[in-house]
Amino acid sequence: MGVLGCCVLVFALFFQCHSRSVQNPMFRFKRFQDNAWSDPNDCSRTRQPFVLSNPYNFSLDIRIPGVIPTESDSYYCMAVPVPTSQEAYIVDFVPHATMDTAHHMILYGCKTPYASQGYWDCGKELGTCRDQAKIMYAWARNAPPTKLPKDVGFKVGGETRINYFVLQIHYGDIKNFRDHHRDCSGLTLRMTSKRQPFIAGMYLMMSVDTVIPPGKKVTNADIACTYPSSPMYPFAFRTHTHSLGKVVSGYRVRNGQWTQIGRQSPLLPQAFYPVTNTIDVRNGDILAARCVFTGEGRTTITQIGGTSGDEMCNFYIMYYMDNSRGEPYMNCRDDGSSELFRNIPSEANIPIPVSPDHMMSMKHESAPHKDVVKLQEPKIEEEVLNQGAHLVEVSDWPEAELQLGQVSGLALNSNGDLIIFHRGDHRWGMNSFNFNGIYQQKDLGPIQQSTIMVVDPVKGKVLKASGRNMFYMPHGITTDMDDNYWVTDVALHQVFKLSSDGKDRQLLVLGEAFEPGSDKKHFCQPTDVAVDPVTGNVYVSDGYCNSRILKFSPEGKYISHWGAGSLDRKRRVSFLIPHSLTFLPDKRELCVADRDHGRIQCFMADTGEFVKEIKKEQFGGEVFAIAYSPVQGGLIYAVNGVPRDGQVAPLQGFVINYSTKEILDSFSPDTQEFKLPHDIVVTADGSVFVGDAASDSVIKFVQSAKAEHRSVKKGGIEVQEIEETETFVQANLKPLPKFPAQHPVAAVQKIQEPSQKQHQQPLAAPEEKETTKTKTAANQSTQGVSTAIITTLLLVPLVVVIAIGAFIRWKRGRMYGDDCQVKLEPSRSAGGILGKIRGKAAGGLNLGNFFATHKGYTRQGFDRLSTEGSDLEKDDEDGTDSENEEYSAPPAPMSSS
């Protein structure tokens, strides 16, 4: 019995110690646990700071030397010299930290740090560098490592003026150091002395003037600068705000065209994510960024600053440039003009949903601010109420009736005006063409009415009209960068480039009049045109007789052509009337409405390589027209038609997520019916116009949330009752009544109301099961009562022994600490020799100094602001195990993007 009691006592002591780590995972994971991207950051390990793997490649280990922060929101820095006086390149960063200990890390490069030995407090009097501090790397909230593309590196040493690395670490909550352990977080730089073809750099866009009024639902911080340097190629981006930020987006603006670089919620792990589009940025382009904030929950104004009660608006672009002309660091802090940002894609105003776990991690435990709003996902009831973006008809548009014939094509110019292409008094009927596609009513002559009408999209007022006595059977229309019209005439079998000045000047003509054909110089009833806004290349869908897409240069020189593609790239299925085209500038793709196959096919615009196919039962066998909007990662708008095989499907429009192919919304007019929806366009603000060839009309649709706010006239100017910037653009679209989508998309949440039966069933079953379980347990307990009494009497002595052991263990815990883990105190060779360097030094220029002299802001907290403030806090148990971000090898610099 004594031997048994001793064994039980030993087991109890072991179990008690082990159970503490089970009950609180922080005891196991705080700093002794390796994760996918982090070595243990305790200071008991002996490390080689410099490792030479071969004559060219080496690695440099930079670790903070045994820091014990004494107060929350501490910022400590240390400097390490570049290990070579010659030119070298950082080709990889490997972080060694966990958010349980370090809030964030920043690596700077500079010529002269504030100190060259030891570590110092760089969050108060001292900064990071005496000269300009160049951000080279940032890590926060267990962000995965940032992988540079092949042949790309951050150039240091030599003539770069980067002779030192400065590692800055922010320790958010000192509760993590209650056991007085020392921290040795840091990172490893993998470097090479081999010259890299491309050098990496950082472009930081930051707002310094933004003021967020208390209680205001939406405040935008807009930043924009004209890019002045050699071509750069973004490959990663990172966003940063404090707790009031909802979404941060960055763009390149060229010739009025906005191309997304990246868009992310600043509440998610602050890693460098791959850019959305592979683009270049050239001299003269505009780089623009917007941060969207909410002041709800605050009782005082919020300004830009470095504390938890302040805000920040940062958009980082990691890029590469040609080695001979590269710059390692650039920044932009100019406020963007309202005129420029009037055309920003609506996606920039759409908050990105973040899970409640990530939301709760935003709470600033060490220094809570009484007014900090805790962002939480809306309840299901609120989500249903907020779903208001279903497209609905504007019944009173246009204000005055438009005198139209069969509406065959729609387009938009750079001002956002609607362009209508119609057939006047000519109508396509049974006798218009023979079997070979030859026009049979040539004797009617050309259409005498103006076939091209420019219309105000708000009121429907005709602004300009042209195209008299030119066309016999108009079909498709689009515009180019200079607002020239590109149109097709199926009777003439020709494509025209026309001036938009109203003088009907023919700038270019492709094909021969009334001569159908299938070679490089002839078309057969061409249906539509698309123009690449960057290269100016022209794409023609040809058409009713031929089944091909032709590509021409801006001057009309034939380049190539291709046919249809299918999901099997080895098998080509011919188009059956390629009827409509839309160009995807942000994806460099061309999509085709293959009408009588009831599908949408997309191709690489440069090569014609097949990319994807979208074919849905809801289309009913025909897709007449398509349009594209880059918002929400890409939306395709489409209209169907009545198929000839008798298949029945309602005539309607569709909103389709390009990435997932999911139908997000379907729409149709309320005051009339679609008869032959022939073309569709979508404006920058999300309004949709559909041209109906059978009813000779154009129908306007807007999001239902906007339709509720009627416009009013003030002084002859039409304005909205609610400011545009005061409204988040809702991404939630109405589910289809007949064909509900099965997979939700990012920023689009669909809530299906379960049936009453589904609610009741889960409630009844568990109750019945529990009753049965209770009865069984009662029977078993009755049968085994005698055995239980005997066992209890035998275990009484054991319980007494265990209680005595537990008491002894508790007393020892009070003396030596709560953790059962045996810790070895590290030698003081690192922390003692490298003592703290304190005191004031001459102020130099670094990133934080942008704020130090701005509008009376105090210097305190802004040297550390170089990157981050006291914003995001640790997830107690959410490690955010993201995969490492990989970036593809850089393409050879192109003349265009």
CB-based contacts of 689: which residues, under 8 Å, 6+ apart? 410, 418, 457, 680, 681, 682, 683, 698, 699, 700, 701
Q: Look at residue 278 in the predicted model and tell me its pLDDT.
A: 87
Of the listed 78, 312, 318, 473, which one is catalytic? 312
Residues paired with 477 in a beta bridge: 487
Residue 398's φ and ψ, nearest 5 degrees, are: -80, 165
Q: What is the full DSSP assignment across 178-246?
A: TT---B--EEEEEEE-SPPSEEEEEEEEE-SS-EE-TT-S-EEEEEEEE--SS-EEEEEEEEE--TTEE
Of 510, 517, 514, nearest in space to 490 by CA: 514
Active site (annotated) includes residue 99: no
Separation of alpha carbons 750 and 762, rounded Å: 22
Helix (H) or strand (E) holding 270, with range, is: none
Contact, 151 vs 889, CB < 8 A?
yes
Of the listed 96, 103, 358, 364, which one is catalytic? 103
Q: Look at residue 798 in the predicted model and tell me its pLDDT.
A: 66
Here the tokens at position 212 are 């967020």
Residue 220's φ and ψ, nearest 5 degrees, are: -100, 135
Active site (annotated) includes residue 180: no
- Please report, to the nearest 10 degrees, the dihedral formed by the alpha carbons of residues 529, 531, 537, 539 taken in order: -20
Of the listed 240, 358, 364, 390, which one is catalytic? 240
Of 390, 389, 343, 412, nearest in space to 698 by CA: 412
Q: Look at residue 97 in the predicted model and tell me its pLDDT.
A: 86
Residue with tokens 């007393």: 811
- In the three-class reduction of DSSP (H, G, I as helix; E, B as strand; rest coil), residue 841 is classed as coil
Active site (annotated) includes residue 390: no
543: cis peptide before it, omega within 30°?
Answer: yes
Contact, 416 vs 483, CB < 8 A?
no
Of the listed 78, 136, 170, 601, which one is catalytic? 170
Helix (H) or strand (E) holding 515, with range, is: none
Q: Look at residue 267 in the predicted model and tell me its pLDDT.
A: 82
Of 684, 631, 624, 629, nearest in space to 653 by CA: 624
Residue with tokens 């009545």: 642
What pTM does this model have? 0.44
Of the listed 96, 99, 104, 749, which one is catalytic? 104
Q: At what angle do helices 785-816 and 756-783 cross, to 10 degrees?
A: 100
Active site (annotated) includes residue 242: yes
> What pairing do the DSSP bridges indicate for beta strands 558-562 and 578-584?
unpaired
Q: Look at residue 272 in the predicted model and tell me its pLDDT.
A: 85
Of the listed 96, 105, 136, 168, which one is catalytic? 168
**Which residue spans within 777-827 are E strands per DSSP?**
none
Other C-beta atoms lying within 10 Å of the C-beta of residue 50: 11
**Which residue spans within 280-417 are E strands per DSSP?**
286-293, 302-303, 314-322, 329-332, 391-393, 407-412
Q: Look at residue 355 in the predicted model and tell me its pLDDT.
A: 60
- 10 Å CB burial of residue 15 (0-12, 13-18, 19+) is exposed
pLDDT along the chain (897 residues), means of 10: 49 45 32 35 64 84 90 90 92 86 88 90 84 84 77 92 93 81 90 93 92 94 95 92 92 95 86 87 96 93 82 94 86 92 93 61 35 32 41 93 96 96 94 91 95 96 95 97 96 96 92 95 97 95 94 96 67 85 94 95 91 92 95 93 73 94 93 94 95 96 66 34 34 36 33 33 34 40 48 62 62 41 33 31 35 37 32 36 38 38
Contact, 240 vs 273, CB < 8 A?
no
Contact, 488 vs 549, CB < 8 A?
no
265 Rama sector, left if φ>0, alpha if ψ -120 to 50, beta otherwise: beta
